[in-house]
Amino acid sequence: MIGRGPPADALLDGFARFRREAWPGLSEHYRRLARRAQAARTMIVACADARVDPQTIFAAGPGELFVVRNVANIVPPYEPDERSHGTSAALEFAVRILKVRQIVVLGHSRCEGVRALLQGAGRKGQDFLEPWLCIAEPVLWPVPAGVADRDLERHFEEGVIRLSLANIQTFPWVAERVKAGGLTLTGYHFDIASGRCGGSRRPVRSRWSRKPRPASLPAVCPDTGRRGVRRRRCGPARSGWRRLRARSR
C-alpha cells in the first residue's frame, strides 16, 4: 500500500478475489500489455458516477479504453492558459500522443451532477463544483416548450453530452483530425435502470458552439441577457430550471 490511511477492507478483499479468480486467466494478457506502451484506440469521457462504469458497459478488457471520468461527463472548451485542466490534458494525451480513433462521451440517467446543475450548482462551501458545473450551464436555456417535466432531466443529460461533444471540437488538433477523417466523435446516454444505451453518430452542431471561440460561450446569459459573455462571469442559475422554464414560455 502506498500512503497512509485505514485499510480499505472491501478493496483489499476485491483485490484478493481478482488475484485468485481473474489473474490466472488474464496474467499473460497483462504481461503482453506491460511489454509495450498502451495503445487504446478509444477514449471515453464518462461521469464519475459509481454506477456507470464504461469498462463494464462496453465489455472492454484491460488496455482497450482510455477513460477520463469527471462530474457530469463535462468537457470544457479549448482554453489554453496557465491553469490546470485535467480533462483537457487527458484529451490532448489521447488525441496527440495515443492518437485514438474514436472519442465517446458517455452520459447517463439519474446524473447527480446534472441535477446539481439544475438545482443551482453554487452551494455554500463548494470550492470547485460551481465553476465546473457552470461550464454546462448553456444547456439550461432556453428550455424547449415541448419537453414534459418528467423528461427534463433526460433532456439536460443529453444536452450535456452534446455540449461536451461540441466543446471537444473547439480543440484545434481534434478539429483537424475529425476533418481529415481520422477521428470520430460519438455520444451515448446510458439508462441505469433499463441498461439501454442510446447514441448518435450525427455531427454535433449545437446552437452555442456553431462558431467555437476559446474562453467564451456565445450564448445568452439568463441573468444578464448578454450574448457571448465569458462563462466564468456568468453565475449558475441559482433558482434552478423552473425559473428558466417560466422565462422561456
Footprint of Zn ion (CB under 5 A): 47, 49, 111, 113
The grid coordinates listed for 133 are 458545473
* Contact indicator for 50, 95 with CB cutoff of 8 Å: no
Closest to Zn ion by CB, 70 or 178 = 70
Closest to Zn ion by CB, 113 or 138 = 113
Please report how close the Cβ of residue 84 comes to Zn ion at its closest, in angstroms. 22
Please report how close the Cβ of residue 51 comes to Zn ion at its closest, in angstroms. 9
Beta bridge partners of 197: 190
Closest to Zn ion by CB, 91 or 117 = 117
Closest to Zn ion by CB, 78 or 87 = 87
Please report how close the Cβ of residue 206 comes to Zn ion at its closest, in angstroms. 19
SS3 92: helix
Q: Is 125 exposed, middle or buried (0-12, 13-18, 19+ CB in 10 A)?
A: exposed
Cis, peptide link before residue 142, omega less than 30° from 0: yes
Please report how close the Cβ of residue 48 comes to Zn ion at its closest, in angstroms. 7
Closest to Zn ion by CB, 49 or 137 = 49
Pairing verdict, β 184-190 and 102-108: parallel
Closest to Zn ion by CB, 112 or 151 = 112
- What is the C-alpha separation between 214 and 133, in angstroms, rounded? 18
Please report how close the Cβ of residue 154 comes to Zn ion at its closest, in angstroms. 13
* Contact indicator for 38, 98 with CB cutoff of 8 Å: yes
- DSSP state letter for 6: -
16: number of Cβ within 10 Å: 10
Please report how close the Cβ of residue 4 comes to Zn ion at its closest, in angstroms. 30
Please report how close the Cβ of residue 111 comes to Zn ion at its closest, in angstroms. 3
Closest to Zn ion by CB, 47 or 100 = 47
Across the chain, which distance is largest between two alpha carbons, in Å? Answer: 61
Smallest Cα–Cα separation from 139: which of 125, 126, 154? 154
- What is the C-alpha separation between 66 and 134, in angstroms, rounded? 26
